[in-house]
Amino acid sequence: MSVDERREQLIAVALELFSRRPPEEVSIDDIAAAAGASRPLVYHYFPGKQALYEESLRRAGQELSARFEEPMEGPLSERLYRVMGRYLDFVQSHGPGFAALLRGGSVAASAGTSAVIDEVRRAAQEQILAHLALPSSSPGLRLTVRAWIANAEITSLEWLVERSVPLEELQLHLVQEFVAALVLTAAREPELAAELASFFADERPQGPAGRLVRDLAGLFAVPGMLDAVTALAAGGPDEPSPQDAGP
């Protein structure tokens, strides 16, 4: 192999091992054996396991960032559904290594690995904001998107441990959580609220957003629910807040 080919091979082999086992359980000898190379040869290309781990993670981060790319066509919730399908497929195939890192429990975690993960998060945030296609993104909206990305990480990592629901159900759940978070943010931001009507107008009844709206509407069939919600909505702005109401 050429120098570049051998280096790429070592990175690919290391990434495969780190994907199947926590990084602290993978040694340079393991990587050398899987690559059909000697231990000194691995050290010729990388000063140690940490450097090889960070480079492998950087490549994986580039792949993960690319999975957030989606043509800006069709209903937004359906675009996000496809994105989350690719994201969860990635999480599933790189489970142990990424779980150890994202949970902060890996001895291989460092400033370098944290920077890679942060870059993936920023790329995901910018992709989501681009799909919203708003004239500008308020601090509140950017915070909503970043919080949803963090929630997707936590939820998917917990799913790796328990596998308590089918993957497709988790995929739908995460997209619907984003739609709900977007609606809540719009309730506080008039400019975003003005854009929300066109967002829902583009959605389809069988899409994630349409199914969410039907599920929420179904809550009003619960005895007493409609009356309770109507009473809350009728409360005027002059009523005391929970902080002002006292014990």
What is the distance in angstroms between the CA of the first residue and the CA of the last residue of the chain?
Answer: 75
Alpha-helical regions (H) of the chain: 3-20, 28-35, 39-45, 49-66, 76-93, 95-102, 111-132, 139-162, 167-188, 190-202, 208-218, 225-234, 242-245
Residue 237 has pLDDT above 70, yes or no: no
pTM for the whole structure:
0.82
Structure confidence by residue, pLDDT tens digits, 155-210: 988 898 888 899 999 999 999 999 999 999 999 999 899 888 889 999 999 999 99
Higher pLDDT: 209 or 108? It is 209
